[in-house]
């Protein structure tokens, strides 16, 4: 595969660009053959559609499926449009069962039916059953390629069974122990298996504290278990306790990356499945809705300013200073919002500690409000030779920072309880609150005390 020293992603992408400029099919083919599927997927996502096609057309069917599993949905859809169906079916036949399940989740329906028809009756039944599990659950993550051993046999019997089997599933670091009815009993780490007396029974050396998850557990909870218990793999069981699959650490890494991408892109109203080089009109259409929502909130803030038009005309300095109040509130609120969204994602925010978190964040808002209102009041007072104006600016900032902290906690908590992703909608709502409260507080106080 890749030669040493290993290139980072940027260096690899630069090398690909130079090869594509030369237009040498041989160099492109040699490059593709030297890369892992995930590296090729990363390159494809970073290339323009025309360059992407040049790479894709020299990729052998034996690795096409593995690459399609790694790229995002938009890029995968564009690649499927230029893929010969015979090549795709051949790609599916060369894939492991775990990757095959991932691919079946992203194939469009007409093509999905064709692929399932060509993979054999035994595999077809297994994959159709797997597709019934929800995507973002333990069942959707798991592979059915599992290795189980009985608890009432000796380690010597297990060793003979493994030699007869010939190979074990990729990523296996422990054997799953079951009873006669396939009920989960525990795990047998390979390190323990190799170091124990061959005449010992599995039940005597296995780890009975090993855990299994039910197929319906949300993937976020599965990730948390892997993190908290430093797991490399975990069995998955049905409602009756029978082992039906396993989840390995590589599946968990994919989930972690997807969650991070989702949170980052959600802040801008986008999804992690967007193609960076999708057509202009497609991208514009997707972003138009979010821009429209932001425009409505901007008009709301503008309406608040318009209410104090007479005040602004008499004291022009207000127009200069009022963005400071809204900006400081927006930054303070974003800090609290980010903290709470992270806490919700990690399930560290609950009904029991929400009130304490709210009091703490409002207290932080008060402290920062006191500090920065003094600074801002002093600067504004000297700037415009009007200490009364400075005091009003400081007071408005204090009010807005406290409201920002209050909103930064309540908005994501309420959205989460309503089943709305706080990462997607929280930022817009918070900006609206801090803008409206900031302008209202500053201009309202100015109207009351300066006119």
pLDDT digits (tens, 9 = 90+) for 320-351: 898 999 999 999 999 999 899 888 877 788 88
Residues present in the chain in total: 451
Lookup: tokens for 121: 């009756």
Helices (H), 151-279: 155-165, 190-195, 202-205, 219-229, 249-266
pLDDT at 1 over 70: no
Element (H, E) at 431: helix 422-450
Question: Three-state SS for 388?
Answer: helix
| pLDDT, averaged across the chain | 85
> What is the distance between the alpha carbons of residues 378 and 401, in angstroms, rounded to a whole number?
18
| Full-model pTM | 0.71
Is the link from the previous residue into 5 a cis peptide, with omega within 30 of 0? yes
Can you state the angle between helices 422-450 and 249-266, rounded to 10 degrees?
Answer: 30
Helices (H), 308-421: 309-314, 317-345, 354-384, 387-417
Tokens 């969650």 correspond to 259
> What is the distance between the alpha carbons of residues 64 and 112, in angstroms, rounded to a whole number?
15
Q: Determine contact, residues 175/190, Cβ cutoff 8 Å.
A: yes
> What is the distance between the alpha carbons of residues 440 and 443, in angstroms, rounded to a whole number?
5
Q: What is the mean pLDDT of residues 292-304?
A: 87
Can you state the angle between helices 387-417 and 317-345, rounded to 10 degrees?
Answer: 30
Q: Provide the β-strand partners of residue 176.
A: 148, 187
Q: What is the pLDDT of residues 260-288, one digit of tens each?
A: 777 777 666 666 666 677 777 877 777 77
pLDDT of residue 98: 63
Give residues with Cβ within 8 angstroms of 385, minimum separation 6.
none
Question: Three-state SS for 316?
Answer: coil
């Amino acid at each position: 595969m890749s030669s040493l020293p290993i290139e980072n992603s940027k260096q690899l992408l630069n090398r690909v660009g130079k090869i594509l400029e030369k237009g040498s099919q041989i160099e492109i083919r040699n490059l593709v053959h030297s890369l892992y599927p995930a590296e090729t997927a990363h390159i494809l996502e970073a290339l323009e559609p025309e360059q992407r096609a040049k790479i894709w057309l020299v990729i052998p069917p034996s690795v096409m499926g593995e690459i399609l599993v790694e790229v995002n949905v938009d890029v995968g859809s564009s690649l499927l449009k230029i893929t010969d169906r015979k090549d795709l079916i051949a790609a599916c036949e060369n894939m492991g069962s775990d990757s095959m399940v991932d691919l079946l989740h992203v194939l469009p329906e007409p093509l999905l039916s064709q692929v399932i028809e060509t993979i054999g009756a035994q595999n077809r039944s297994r994959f159709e059953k797997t597709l019934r599990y929800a995507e973002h659950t333990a069942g959707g993550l798991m592979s059915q390629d599992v290795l189980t051993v009985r608890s009432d046999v000796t380690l010597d019997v297990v060793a003979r069974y493994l030699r007869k089997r010939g190979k074990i599933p990729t990523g296996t670091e422990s054997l799953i122990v079951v009873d006669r009815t396939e009920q989960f009993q525990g795990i047998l780490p390979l390190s323990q298996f190799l170091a124990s007396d061959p005449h010992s029974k599995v039940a005597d050396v296995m780890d009975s504290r090993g855990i299994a998850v039910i197929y319906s557990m949300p993937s976020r909870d599965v990730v948390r278990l892997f993190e908290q218990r430093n797991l490399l793999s975990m069995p998955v069981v049905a409602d009756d306790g029978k082992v039906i699959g396993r989840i390995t650490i590589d599946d968990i890494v994919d989930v972690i990356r997807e969650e991070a991408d989702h949170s980052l892109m959600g802040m801008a109203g986008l999804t992690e499945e967007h193609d960076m080089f999708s057509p202009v009109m497609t991208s514009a259409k997707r972003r138009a809705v979010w821009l429209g929502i932001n425009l409505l909130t901007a008009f709301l803030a503008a309406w608040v300013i318009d209410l104090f038009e007479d005040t602004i005309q008499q004291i022009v300095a207000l127009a200069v200073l009022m963005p400071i109040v809204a900006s400081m509130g927006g930054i303070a609120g974003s800090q609290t919002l980010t903290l709470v969204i992270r806490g919700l994602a990690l399930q560290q925010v609950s009904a029991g500690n929400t009130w304490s978190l709210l009091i703490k964040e409002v207290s932080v808002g008060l402290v920062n409000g006191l500090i920065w209102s003094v600074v801002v009041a002093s600067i504004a007072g000297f700037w415009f030779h009007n200490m009364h104006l400075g005091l009003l600016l400081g007071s408005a900032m204090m009010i807005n920072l406290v409201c920002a902290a209050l909103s930064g906690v309540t908005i994501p908590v309420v959205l989460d309880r309503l089943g709305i992703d706080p990462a997607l909608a929280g930022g817009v709502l918070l900006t609206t609150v801090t803008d409206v409260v900031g302008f209202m507080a500053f201009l309202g106080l100015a109207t009351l005390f300066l006119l």
